[in-house]
Structure 1
Amino acid sequence: MTDPRFSVVILAGGQSRRMGRDKRALPWTPASDGSPQTLLGHVVATVSRLTNDVVLVANDDPAVTGARVVGDLYPRSGSLGGIYSGLAAAAHDLAFVAAADMPFLNPMLILDLVGRASRMDAVVPVTGGRPEPLHAVYRKTVLAPARRQIERRELKIALVFDAVSTVEAPEADVRALDPDLRSFWNLNTPEEYQRALALAGDHGASGA
């Protein structure tokens, strides 16, 4: 069942330099109906079960169904520019943001983070003592301070958390839903891709 309270923004504009090919088009485990799917298609399908609004931030048009594609409003501004662009285009005031190369997104963890938002501007999980800004929830009130940072070329996402009301999700709470923290895996190299693909094949693409 989809939840009308929030959008999902997927950042899909990376260069894939270390992978050597477009990560978004990497073959992934078959969909539930047995049809072939790409890594990006799998990520979009996972989050589409949670919301009626999936926004894909990309500077081209990757062949994927179930998402609206929007361009980067601030090119060469890194992930912060992508967050800004996706959040600006989101249909809802609240949005969960993740990267396109994170194959083990956990729906229960996403819903838990959204549930923590209340009147906060941002919800960010913490693992290993560090925030995870590319697996976090943002409200549209983040747009103004993010834009100011981008215009000053201060592109560190963590600075946004200092400028708005932010709540952290402690690692213990995160591990209660995702014991191995697979939600935060992102694939940068062929070796990481093969490891994730093997794990998905053995245990299911959700990482459950």
Structure 2
Amino acid sequence: MIYSRVTAVVLAGGRSIRMGRNKALLKLGNKTMIERVVEPLQTIFENIIIVTNMPKEYPMLKKVKFVSDCVDMEEKNSLVGLYSGLIESKTDHIFVIACDMPFINTKLSEYMVDLLQDEDVIIPFVDGYYQPLYAIYGKRCIPEFEKLFQRRWYKIIDAFQDLKIRKITREEILELDSSMLCFENINTYDQYLQLKGVFD
């Protein structure tokens, strides 16, 4: 099913300090990492936004919208990208994922969208931890994120106190993704070398 009521947002604005290069462009098999993220999303979502200040680096991505960070700050962080995606989205809700998470589980993503009613956030919660970069956020999050900016707090989950949250439990996730690989992100070159064999 192709969903039009939720926009997919891919965060590709990080500086990849630990990787030492733009990890979104690293090859996994015959495709870049960001292609491994975007292509499955295009089977689910009608509209896809890539948040990046360097759109010219991604000529291989078609039928997506590129937007820049809406907040200018020296320290790049996921909250800025998430906020920018929400601001630019024409839909009330967005599904957010990072560009270094190439093991998307389409069934889990669809399940999360199907659950959506009037929640502000739908987010996996496993072993006491949220997965904030594999989650759905609504426009009502925007003022809560702005409060964090004012306080110079950039942890996404710090905004949850006054929002309506639907947690996706470990049991729900395991029914759709027994490996839970969808939450794996690639931060270092060693991690990349270990995981690239999956696609070779």
Q: Which residue of 2 aligns with 1:5?
A: 5
**How many residues were matched structurally?**
195
Work out the CA distance in 2 between the residues paired with 1:5 and 1:144: 21
Question: Is the CA contact (8 Å cut-off) linking 1:41 and 1:65 kept in structure 2?
Answer: no
Note if 1:21 corresponds to 2:21.
yes
Change (3 A) 1:194 1:66: farther
1:44 is aligned with what amino acid? V
Alpha carbons of structure 1 residues 152 and 77: separation in structure 2 relative to 1, 3 Å: farther
Amino acid at match of 2:87: A
The alignment's TM-score, normalised by the length of structure 2, stands at 0.92
- Where 1:105 maps in the other structure, the secondary structure is coil
For residue 122 of structure 1, report the CA deviation from its aligned partner: 0.5
Q: CA deviation at 1:85?
A: 0.2
Specify whether residues 133 and 112 from structure 1 end up closer, same or farther in structure 2 by C-alpha distance, changes over 3 A only. Answer: same
CA distance in 2, matches of 1:6, 1:147: 22
- Contact 1:44–1:66 (CA under 8 A) maintained in structure 2: no
With over 3 angstroms needed to count, the CA separation of the structure-2 counterparts of 1:81 and 1:192, relative to structure 1, is same
Which runs of 5 or more residues in structure 2 are unaligned? Answer: none
Q: Please give the root-mean-square deviation of Cα atoms over the aligned residues, in Å.
A: 1.3
Q: How does 1:41-52 map to 2 (within 5 A)?
A: 41-52=35-46
1:172-197 deviation line (CA, Å, top 9, x unaligned): 11111111110000001112112222
Q: TM-score, normalised by structure 1?
A: 0.89
Q: Distance in 2 between matches of 1:195 and 1:113?
A: 29
Gaps of 5+ in 1: 31-36, 202-208
Where in structure 1 do 4 or more consecutive aligned residues deviate above 3 Å?
A: none
Contact 2:51 / 2:85 at 8 angstroms: preserved in 1? yes
Structure 2 Cα separation of the partners of residues 87 and 136 of structure 1: 13
Choose the corresponding residue for 1:74, options 71, 75, 82: 71
